[in-house]
Amino acid sequence: MRTFCLCFIWFLYTYAYGQSPWEVVADKIDPDHYYGVTLANGVVGIISSAEPLKVKDVVLNGSYDYYQRGRVSNILKTFNHVNMNLDVDGMRIGPKDIRNYQQKLDMQHASLTTTFDVGAKAKVTSSMMSLRHLPYTALTIIEIKALKDITITPMSVIEAPVHLMDVRNYYAEIDRPHVTIPLLTSVGLSPSGRLKVAASNSFIFEEGHGKEPDIIHEDWDYNMHLAKFYKKLKAGETYTFSVVSSTVSSAQYEDPHNEAERLTIFAMLEGRDRLLRRHNEAWAEIWKGDVEVTGNPGITRDIRFALYHLYSFARSETSNSLSPMGLSGLGYNGHVFWDTELWMYPPLLMLQPEMAKSLLEYRYERLGAAKENAFSHGYKGAMFPWESSANGSEDTPVWALTGPFQHHITGCVGWAFWKYYEVTGDKEWLRTRGWPVLKEVASFWASRVERNGPGRYDINNVIGANEWQENIDNNAFTNGMAKTALRYATKAAVELGITPDPDWNHVADNIPILTFPDGTTRENATYDGVTIKQADVNLLAYPLDIITDEKTIRRDLDYYLPRYAKDGPAMGFAILGVLYNRLGENEKQLRFLLTVTNRMKYLHLESYPRVPEGPIHILLPVQVVCCRRYFQVSEGSKSERMALPNVKQPYQRVGVR
C-alpha cells in the first residue's frame, strides 16, 4: 500500500499542485461550455449560472408534479428567487461589461463566491449559500468596492419558470419601531395545479434603522418583479448588503405563501453574522465525516467534491431521498433509483449515518405503495419501483422497460436496510423500521421465484444491472441480490427474537447463479459475451458476498473486463477498483480509481463544462475509498484497521495512507 501511494502522488502531483483541497475554481468561464455547481442543503438546490449575479435554476426537494418529460412526475423547479441585477451609473451589467470573472466553490463552508470587475469603476464580490441550518432559506452577501465615484442600483429579482401557473407577485413592508422589513414575494401553482409554491426575499442592510436605502418595487409582468435601491459611492468606498431568500411548497406546508414570508422575516432578523455562524457551524459538524488522501491534495479535493455533493443533497431528520443528479436540476426527473441504495448510501452510512437513515425513511414511508405495486404485478410482499418520486408508485416512463422488469431494486432496498443495522446496531430502529421492510422484501422474492426443482428456483423475465440485456432469465445480480435479501430478512428476525419464515432460506438456497462450463459466472441464461453496460456479475463479489473465492473473482474479472463498454458509466469501474484492491493488485486498483476520477477532471478546468454524466458519477471515488473491505480509520489520535462488516459505530475521519 505504501508503494501504491507514492505512485499515486507522483502521477497526480502536477494536476493537484497549487489548488486548495477545499476549493474548486473556475476563472475562464465560457457560457457555451458551462455546467455549473450546486449549492444545496438537502432541501433547496441552487444551480449556478455562467452569467454574473444569476443562477440557472432553483430546485425544491420533495416537491413533484407532472410536466415536461416522459409523462411522469418531475422534481419541481421553483421560483428563481436569488437572482440579482446590477446597474452602475445607469448601465445594466452583463457578461460583456466585466473582466477578471471568477467563481470559486468553497466546499468547507458550502459557499460559491463570484468576483468580477466592472471596467475601471468597481469590484464586485458575491457569496451565496443554501443555509444548512435553515432548510428553506438562502443567503447572498454582496460587496461592491468603488474604484471611482459611482452610483449603483442593485436589484433583488424573483422570476417564475414558465411551467408555474397563476403566478401572483406581492410586495410589502413591515414597519416596526426598531426595523423595517421589505418583503418581495411570489406565489404560483405547479403545472397540474396540485401544489402551491411560494418564494420570498428581503434585504439585510448594514446601516442602522432609518438610515438604510429606500426600496423601490417594480412589477414588470406576472413572471418577474424586483426590489431595488440607489446608492452613491465615493472612490475607495466599499458597500455591503445581503439578501435572504426562502421558498416552500404545499408539499411541506399547507400555507406556503405565509410560511415563505415568515421564514424570510426570521432570517432577516437573525442578521447576516448569526446566519453565517450557524451555517458554518453546521458544515463544520458535517465535515467531521471527511476523507483525506495523505500527501495528495488533488485526489483529496476530488473525493471532497464527491462528499460535498452527497452532503449537500442529503439531510438528516427528513424522509427525503437522493436522485442520481441530486438537487442539481431535472436530470433523471429527480427520481430515486437503485443508485441511491447501492452507490450513494454506503459512504453516507459510514460517515453520516443520520443522513443515511433519512434515505431509508423515504422507502419506509412508501412501503404501502411498494406493496400495492407487488399486488398489481401478481406478487406478494413489497415491490419497490424502479423510479420513485413523491408517493412511491412506479414513475418510470412507459417507453422504458426498466419500470416493470428491473426488480433488483427491491433487493437493493432490503440490502441497505440491513446494512444500517449492521453498522449502527440500532435494534429499536430495526424493530420499527428495518423489519417491516425486510420481511416484505423477503415475501416478494419468495413469491417472485418460479419453483422448478432443487437449485432451479428461477427468476425469469427481468432486466439486470446491465440494462442492455432486457427480458432475460436468471440474471446474476438480480438472483444474487434476491438471495442476499432473503438471508438478511432471516437474520433480522433472529436479532429481534422472531421466528423467521423457513421458506426464506429455502428459497435463497435454491436460487441459481449460472456459470459457463469453465466456471465463469454467466450474466444470464442467454448471455453470449456481448458488450455490457456496466458491472453485473462482478457485483456478486462486491458489494455482495455471493462469490468469495479468489479464483472465481479473478476469473470473472478476466472474462468481463474486456466486455465493459469503454464509455459506460463509472459505477462499474469503481467496483473493479475495489475488487483489485481486495486482491492486492494496487496498480490495477489505481488504474480504475483514476478512470473514475478522470471523469471528474472537468471540475478543475477553467470552467464547468457540460458533460454527459452528472453528480452520480462524481460520487464514485468515495465508494472506492470508503467502501473497500479494509481501510485505515483514524479518529483523533486513534488508528486501527477495521473490517466494514463488523463496524458498530460511524467513524468520522478516514485517512488513506
* DSSP string across 428-444: HHIIIIIHHHHHHHHHH
Non-local (6+) Cβ contacts of 408 within 8 A are 338, 462, 464, 465, 475, 477, 478, 481, 482
Q: Select from 119, 111, 105, 99 the least CA-distant residue to 52.
A: 99
Residue 481 in contact with residue 415, Cβ under 8 Å? yes
Is 647 a residue whose pLDDT tops 60? no
Mean pLDDT over residues 442-468, rounded?
97
- For the stretch 428-441, pLDDT in tens is 999 999 999 999 99
Residues making up the chain, counted from first to last: 657
Mean pLDDT over residues 459-476, rounded?
97
Indicate the pairing of strand 80-88 with strand 150-159. Answer: antiparallel
Mean pLDDT over residues 362-376, rounded?
98
pLDDT-derived band at 624, boundaries 50, 70, 90:
very low
Residue 404's Cβ-side half-sphere holds a number of Cα atoms within 13 Å equal to 12
- For the stretch 180-213, pLDDT in tens is 999 999 999 999 999 999 999 999 999 989 999 9
- For the stretch 270-318, pLDDT in tens is 999 999 999 999 999 999 999 998 888 988 998 999 999 999 999 999 9
Is 637 a residue whose pLDDT tops 50? no
Higher-pLDDT residue of 322, 628: 322
- The burial class, CB within 10 Å (0-12 / 13-18 / 19+), for 232 is exposed
Cis previous bond, 612, omega within 30? no
Is 657 a residue whose pLDDT tops 70? no
CA angle 274, 276, 279 (to 5 degrees): 105
Cell of 208: 442602522
Q: Cα–Cα distance between 321 and 314 in angstroms, integer?
A: 7
Cell of 608: 464547468
Q: Which residue among the candidates 237, 467, 495, 613 is catalytic per the annotation?
A: 467
3-state helix, strand, coil in the chain (%, to 5): 35, 25, 35
For cell 489548488, what's the residue? 19
Maximal CA-CA distance, the chain: 88
CB contact burial 481-516 (16+ within 10 A = b; e otherwise): bbbbbbbbbbebbebeeeebbeebbebbebbbbbee
pLDDT at 592 (0 to 100): 82
As a whole-number percent, the residues of the chain with pLDDT over 90 amount to: 80
Q: Cα–Cα distance between 569 and 450 in angstroms, integer?
A: 32
Q: Which H or E element spans position 406?
A: none
φ, ψ for residue 306, nearest 5 deg:
-65, -50
CA distances from 176 to 246, 268, 275, 406 (A): 22, 14, 22, 59
Mean pLDDT over residues 509-536, rounded?
97
For cell 415475501, what's the residue? 443
CB contact burial 196-223 (16+ within 10 A = b; e otherwise): bbbbbbbbbbeeeeeebeebeeeeeeeb
Residue 611 in contact with residue 600, Cβ under 8 Å? no
Residue 648's Cβ-side half-sphere holds a number of Cα atoms within 13 Å equal to 3
Mean pLDDT over residues 502-507, rounded?
98
pLDDT at 202 (0 to 100): 98
Is 651 a residue whose pLDDT tops 80? no
pLDDT at 11 (0 to 100): 26
Cell of 253: 406546508
Q: What is the 3-state secondary structure (H, E, C) of 269-283?
A: HHCHHHHHHHHHHHH
For cell 427491491, what's the residue? 410
Q: Cα–Cα distance between 561 and 132 in angstroms, integer?
A: 42
pLDDT at 567 (0 to 100): 84
CA distances from 322 to 190, 253, 340, 514, 571 (A): 21, 21, 6, 33, 16
pTM: 0.90
Arithmetic mean of pLDDT over the chain: 88
Indicate the pairing of strand 196-205 with strand 290-293. Answer: unpaired
Q: Which H or E element spans position 297?
A: helix 297-313
Is 623 a residue whose pLDDT tops 80? no
**Among this protein's residues, is 281 annotated catalytic?**
no
pLDDT at 515 (0 to 100): 98
Q: Cα–Cα distance between 489 and 481 in angstroms, integer?
A: 12
Cα Rg of the chain (Å, integer): 26
Q: Select from 7, 12, 6, 10 the least CA-distant residue to 604.
A: 12
Mean pLDDT over residues 244-257, rounded?
97
As a whole-number percent, the residues of the chain with pLDDT over 70 amount to: 88
Is 576 a residue whose pLDDT tops 60? yes
pLDDT at 598 (0 to 100): 67
Q: What is the per-residue DSSP string for 311-379?
A: HHH--TTS-----TTTTSSSGGGG-B-HIIIIIIHHHHHHH-HHHHHHHHHHHHHTHHHHHHHHHHTT-
pLDDT-derived band at 398, boundaries 50, 70, 90:
very high
pLDDT-derived band at 597, boundaries 50, 70, 90:
low
Q: Cα–Cα distance between 257 and 250 in angstroms, integer?
A: 9
- For the stretch 58-78, pLDDT in tens is 999 999 999 867 789 999 999
pLDDT at 201 (0 to 100): 98
pLDDT at 621 (0 to 100): 41
- For the stretch 91-128, pLDDT in tens is 999 999 999 999 999 999 999 999 999 999 999 999 99
- For the stretch 149-165, pLDDT in tens is 999 999 999 999 999 99
Cell of 544: 455482495
CA angle 363, 369, 371 (to 5 degrees): 95
- For the stretch 210-235, pLDDT in tens is 999 999 999 988 899 999 999 999 99
Q: Select from 175, 182, 39, 183 the least CA-distant residue to 107.
A: 39
pLDDT at 628 (0 to 100): 31
Higher-pLDDT residue of 579, 640: 579
CB contact burial 295-327 (16+ within 10 A = b; e otherwise): ebbbbbbbbbbbbbbbbbbbbeebbbbbbbbbb
pLDDT-derived band at 629, boundaries 50, 70, 90:
very low
Q: Select from 652, 45, 42 the least CA-distant residue to 353.
A: 652
